[in-house]
């Protein structure tokens, strides 16, 4: 054991804003460093990689010279082990584990810590466990895929807190920047584990094709619904888009949303804010918004509606 957790360290970490139970402070003869990629010390409360030195550092990996050279380096005139753990150090000594450095990915030009997205999902009152990986969307671009295990029926979870893909996406959209909201959201009975009980990310089901088969196909009926479905098909690279299909579940994200809204502006003559696609994520819901905007447009330009004319006539 390298760290110990005391009541004092727990209180100090909680007071400093720790989001999880800290792993504690290093034991005697153990040196812990929180550093950036170049080995520079990070200030208190700022995430970095955990490097360990002291009497307990091993000699290296058996018959793996390259990995030994990568993980065991010199720092402050001592040999240290690069753990690959992403942590932050608090002023009074306790260290909080935030995830793995190798779980950082780049999505649409932004660097994303998968652990932060997982933490936000676990904060939902109806979520038991969550995992997030880097996947590929329908256009072939990098995207995030989230896998969520809801809390079992025995937990005191209200009906409103029972997670659905739509509710979880809305939850994350309110907590995280848009580029951190997964394009795919799948609900599972359990997360796959390795023989030693750790998450087996390689065994998670691929999100491709899941969203289209998740709902029964409902054919668009109105002209707006049909035009909108055609726009989604072209932008999202889908063979078929139905009335109840969800933009996010089909692989939509903020960049694709901008393209869709541009096409909507040209096709229907209405300008919608980006948030609209997340508030009305199905063809049916978004078509209703478009029809409502088209109906309101003459009122804004002409200054009087049929209802206001009737009201004027009554008075």
Using an 8 Å Cβ cutoff, are 79 and 68 in contact?
A: no
- Three-state SS for 239? coil
Q: Quick one: pLDDT at residue 209?
A: 47
Burial pattern 235-274, b for ≥16 Cβ within 10 A else e, equals bbebeebbbebbbbbbbbbbbbbeebbebbeeebebebee
Which DSSP state fits 225? H
Tokens standing for 120? 């936000």
The three-class DSSP label of residue 11 is: helix
Q: Which of 199, 20, 3 is nearest to 97 (CA)?
A: 20
H helices of the chain, in order, are 7-15, 65-71, 114-122, 165-175, 210-214, 223-236, 254-268, 276-279, 283-302, 306-314
| Per-residue confidence (pLDDT) for residue 274, from 0 to 100 | 85
Residue ranges for the chain with pLDDT beneath 50 = 1, 5, 13, 16, 18, 209-214, 298-315
- The backbone region for 197, taken as left when phi is positive above 0, alpha when psi lies in -120 to 50, beta otherwise, is left
Q: For residue 118, give the nearest of 139, 137, 97 by alpha carbon.
A: 97
The structure's pTM equals 0.51
Q: How far is CA 170 from CA 165, 177, 302, in A?
A: 9, 12, 36
Give me the pLDDT at residue 56, please: 85
In this prediction, residue 74 carries a pLDDT of: 93
Residue 211 CA, distance from chain mean position: 17
213-238 per-position pLDDT tens digit: 345 678 899 999 999 999 999 988 88
Structure-token pair, residue 54: 């002291």
């Amino acid at each position: 054991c390298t760290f110990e957790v005391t009541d004092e360290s727990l209180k100090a970490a909680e007071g400093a804003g720790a989001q999880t139970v800290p792993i504690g402070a290093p034991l005697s003869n153990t040196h812990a460093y929180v550093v950036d990629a170049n080995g520079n010390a990070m200030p208190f409360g700022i995430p970095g990689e955990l490097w360990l030195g002291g009497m307990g550092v091993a000699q290296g990996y058996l018959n793996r010279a390259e990995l030994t050279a990568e993980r065991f380096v010199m720092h402050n005139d001592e040999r240290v082990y690069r753990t690959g753990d992403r942590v932050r150090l608090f002023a009074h000594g306790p260290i909080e584990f935030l995830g793995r450095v190798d779980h950082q990915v780049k999505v649409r030009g932004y660097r994303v810590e998968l652990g932060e997205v997982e933490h936000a999902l676990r904060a939902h009152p109806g979520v038991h466990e969550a995992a997030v990986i880097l996947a590929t969307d329908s256009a072939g671009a990098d995207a995030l895929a989230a896998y969520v295990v809801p809390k079992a029926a025995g937990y005191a979870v209200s009906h409103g807190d029972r997670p659905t893909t739509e509710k979880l996406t809305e939850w994350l959209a309110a907590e995280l920047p848009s580029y951190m909201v997964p394009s795919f959201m799948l609900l599972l009975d359990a997360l796959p584990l390795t023989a030693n009980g750790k998450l087996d990310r390689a065994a998670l089901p691929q999100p491709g094709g899941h969203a289209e088969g998740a709902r029964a196909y409902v054919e668009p009926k109105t002209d707006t619904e049909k035009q909108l479905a055609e726009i989604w098909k072209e932008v999202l690279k889908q063979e078929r888009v139905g009335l109840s299909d969800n933009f996010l579940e089909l692989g939509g994200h903020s960049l694709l949303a901008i393209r869709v809204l541009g096409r909507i502006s040209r096709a229907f003559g209405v300008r919608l804010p980006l948030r609209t696609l997340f508030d009305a994520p199905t063809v049916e819901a978004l078509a209703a918004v478009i029809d409502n905007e088209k109906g309101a447009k003459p009122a804004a330009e002409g200054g009087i509606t049929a209802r206001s004319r009737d009201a004027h006539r009554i008075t």
